[in-house]
Every structure is written in C-alpha cells, then in structure tokens.
Amino acid sequence: MISIKLIWIIIVGASIFGILAYLFYTEMLAMNHRGHHRFIEIDHSETFCDDDDCDDYE
C-alpha cells in the first residue's frame, strides 16, 4: 500500500512539475523575444559565395 501511495506521489508530482516547468520555459522564451531585439545589418552590395563559387565571380 505504501508503494502504491509512493507511485501516486511520483506520478502526480511529476505531472505538476512538468506542467510548471513547461509554463516557466514558455514564459522565459516569451520574455527573451520581448527583450533583446537585435537587428542584423546586411550589406546587400556584398556578394557572398562559397570557396568553390568565388572563382566564377572574380
């Protein structure tokens, strides 16, 4: 009987922990997206090419 109660506590505890952890994780993700926005500067005049292709553009 004690082992069954233990199993119950483990299952319910794991469910609660999992739900709270997921909610915390999604909240952290949302905060990170809201916070530090960085704009990546792209210079469109530059040509990017692989090593193999560079010869064709030179």
Partner 1 sequence: MTTATITSNITTASICRFFAEYASYMLGCGATCIRIDRNMERMARTIDATIDMTILPSHILITMTDNHTGETSHHSSSIARIPVNYDMNTRLSKLSWLVAEHRLDLSEAAGVFRHIIHSKPMNPWAVMGLVVLANASFCRLFGGDFNAMGIVSFATLIGYSLKNILLGRHTDIKLTFLACSFISATIGCAGHLFGLSSTADIALGTSVLYLIPGIPYINSVSDLLDGHYLCSFSRFAHATVLTACIALGLTGGILLMRLNVF
Cα dihedral 28, 30, 34, 40 sign: positive
Instruction: Kindly tell me which of 13 and 31 has the beta carbon lying closer to partner 1.
Output: 13
> Which lies closer to partner 1 via its Cβ, residue 19 or residue 31?
19
CA dist 17 and 9 (Å) reads 12
For residue 31, which amino acid is it?
Answer: M
Confirm if 9 and 1 have CB atoms less than 8 A apart. no
Q: How far is the CB of 33 from partner 1 (least distance, A)?
A: 17
CB of 35 to partner 1, least distance (A): 23
Give the footprint of partner 1 on this chain (CB under 8 A). 4-5, 7-8, 11-12, 15-16, 19, 22
